[in-house]
Structure 1
Amino acid sequence: MNWTKQQRLIVLLSPFFIICMVHFVAIWGLETIPEWCWLVTALTYWGLTGLCKAIFVDKKTLTEWFQKPLYKPKWFAIALAIGIFPALGILLPNSSLLFEYTTLTLFLILFALINPWFEEGYWRGLLLDAGSHFPKWLIVLYSTILFVLSHPLMWGVFSIANCSIQMYVALFVMGIVWSFIRYKTNSLRWSVYSHMLVDVGNLSIFVFLNLYIPPGMA
């Protein structure tokens, strides 16, 4: 895609607008429909990031983002490890929640199947492309820092766990790794699949509803 300076600037600044808008929607949702606040927040977030991609991404670029990855065993293993890690520390010890709240378990699966396409397409697709004229380390750091900050400012409005140091560290590591997986494989697919595993493994919907809170934060 051929970027103009204006397009690059708009895209690179768009996280500030999106985070701000979703933040206020989350506050409104918490005050009016607290039990569905997470859903209103997610739909607003997906809508705004999706709109950015619809405006600035052509069909060819979108196809390239999700093309078959270059198979590199090391990066496949890293993507898998990042995806599975939350399941070992969060999902397995708290698996009883899945059977206690079966409707939420369905929402958990649906969220995990949908959310990564929007997040990876925006943070590791659109933003990295818009900043391709910068050194890779710089645009990866920029995208990752804003990705991390988006969680306490959006989901953290109603979710205790999204305001934890543990979460920030995990998000930072995942953001860096998923960015480099995109570069190394010339595709977002493995990042998306790894992100899906993370969203299930960290019990995202249960975290949004504070049915799971990390030890020491309750």
Structure 2
Amino acid sequence: MRIQTRDKAFWSVLASPFVIIGLGFLTATAFNALIEGWAWVPLAIVYWSSMGYCIWRFKGDKPLAHWLKKSRKAPVWITITLLLGMFPLTILVMNYHLFDSVWLVVFWLLFALINPLLEEYYWRGILLDRLLLKFPQWAAVLFTTILFMISHPLMWGVFSAANRSYHLYIFLFVAGIVWAITYLKTKSLRYVVLSHFIVDIGNLTVLTFLNIYVPPAM
């Protein structure tokens, strides 16, 4: 009975990203027709709530602090992770003048504080951990990375031109691989969450959702 329960939980976790992305796509599509770029708000609520539920449902006996414990030494991968996070900061430096409202700054900072933590807990924590129980490491990393990558155009890309850019796909694929390997090497999400936070600060998130910032190549 216990084995059957574990198998059921595994397949539930495996199916969860498809459900989350599907819910996100439907939410983005429905609200885009009503409020266009501001559809990012209901999408964020649905997306974060879905991931939060999965984290709560599938974390088992592990406390959330387990994933943020002190990192094992892996200086090369920690350095790569932090450098990767700093890469989009050039976008912020060149476009900070686009923040012409205090509310845009508030939304931008809130998104950068909430999103990295929930995404890393879910994509690299819950999902990757569970896949490693049945699949080779390379397959688990590739599976989570590809779904993490395509979730952006399928959800945020419904209303955001920047999230449909092939440049973003490349960056997300590389980031997903690096963050997953760093997590596996350090056994902690500390540096991964930090890197993701810096990325979300640098890539202007809310400004791209509202199409206030659109990459020049588009």
Q: CA deviation at 1:48?
A: 0.5
Aligned letter for 2:166? Answer: I
- Which has the higher mean CA deviation after the structures are superposed, 130-139 or 30-39? 30-39
Q: After superposition, where does 1:84-99 map in structure 2 within 5 Å? A: 84-88=86-90, 90-98=91-99
* Paired position in structure 1 for 2:212: 211
Deviation string 1:102-132 (CA, Å, 9 cap, x unpaired) is 3211211111010011100111011111111
Q: After superposition, where does 1:11-160 map in structure 2 within 5 Å? A: 11-60=13-62, 62-88=64-90, 90-98=91-99, 100-132=100-132, 133-160=134-161
* Paired position in structure 2 for 1:181: 182
Taking structure 2 as the reference length, the TM-score comes to 0.94
Deviation string 1:57-99 (CA, Å, 9 cap, x unpaired) is 13425332111112332222112101100012x111112113x
Give the fraction of aligned pairs with identical amino acids, expressed as a percent. 47
Q: Does the CA contact (< 8 Å) of 2:37 and 2:209 recur in 1?
A: no
DSSP-derived class of the 1:68 partner: coil
For residues 92 and 15 of structure 1, the distance between their equivalents in structure 2, rounded to whole angstroms, comes to 34
Structure 1 spans left out of the alignment, 5+ residues: none
Q: Does the CA contact (< 8 Å) of 2:37 and 2:159 recur in 1?
A: no
Taking structure 1 as the reference length, the TM-score comes to 0.94
Calculate the aligned-residue CA RMSD, in Å: 1.4
For residues 212 and 35 of structure 1, the distance between their equivalents in structure 2, rounded to whole angstroms, comes to 12
Aligned letter for 1:123? Answer: W
DSSP-derived class of the 2:88 partner: helix
Aligned letter for 2:184? Answer: Y
Aligned letter for 1:214? Answer: P
Deviation string 1:15-67 (CA, Å, 9 cap, x unpaired) is 11111111011111112233531111011000001101111113425332111
Aligned letter for 2:145? Answer: T
